[in-house]
Structure 1
Amino acid sequence: MTESAVGGTPDVDPVEVLEVVACRVGESWYGLEVGRVRQVDDCPPTTRVPRTAPAVRGVASVAGEVTVVVDARVALDSSPDDGSDRLVVLDRGDQPQPVALLVDAVADIERCPVETLGRPGPDDTGWAKAVADRESGPLTVLSVERIAETVSTANTRGHGDFK
């Protein structure tokens, strides 16, 4: 998304920004591209599915659809927060199985100038696709496709190999 730095004034160079939904998991901040988030809500009751990876918390009914719930705290090696679970339902385009990410908190939409984005360091999940350098600390931008691939791989193998 490209936007002018000052209210669309033609004499100012446009600044390319990436808009993300900022989520906290433990003490760390993560972002999911705005266009890839379908909804954010409280986490409904989940039903554990046998022989899935530990990070797959189970399935839940979200807006009338059976949705796979992935606990980001487990996948990202973070300890649980105070129990104020927020569910971020991911938009996977034409993929039939909805997937949602369970996080500790959802803050707001952050606008990250593209020039502040850097390559992520190694992470156990492979979910990171960029890191935004912010005054308040780094924000790791996660890939919806990589999260969904991890769930698909875990389901195919019967128990998965991620956390």
Structure 2
Amino acid sequence: MSESKVRLVESGKSPVLEPGLEELIRQGKQTGRLRASTKLDDAAREADAFLVAVGTPSAKNGSSDLSHLLRALGQLADVLKGVRKFQVVNVRSTVPPGTMRGSVIPLLEERSGRQVGTELGVGMNPEFLREGTSVRDYDSAPFDLCGVSDPRSAEVLKSLYAGN
């Protein structure tokens, strides 16, 4: 986690050069819908959903390097251990088929001590974005593709993407 990037977002600025992103961050800050923090335990108590978008670069053999994603999810799961409200962990990273069932869900359940589908929701909502046109790509997407562990997770994510 980059403290400098978190500080930029908290001040209403974009940590990356992406047309339209800074205005979205500013709007999110003004409405109170967006907060950035390096303190995962604070976020864990307050958030209804966590959007995890971590790079999954290709290894030399062509496979996906999931180490950054699994490390981030493990850190999140550790702080979710004591939280009792229903929350959704939504993976936005591009991952190979079977990663959610084979790696992500077992990791979240083991490290958080929470049962996916009843105590914790999981979603998979891959990004189909290109650098430099991400905001436009997001706004003009013909549909949102989202897989979820349970109906409650679907409702949380529908509400999030509807702007509620």
Q: Quick check: TM above 0.5? A: no
Larger radius of gyration: 1
The answer to which structure has the higher helix fraction is 2
Query: What TM-score comes out, normalization by structure 2 length?
Result: 0.24
The answer to which structure has the higher strand fraction is 1
- Ranked by relative contact order (alpha carbons within 8 Å, sequence separation 6 or more), the top structure is 1
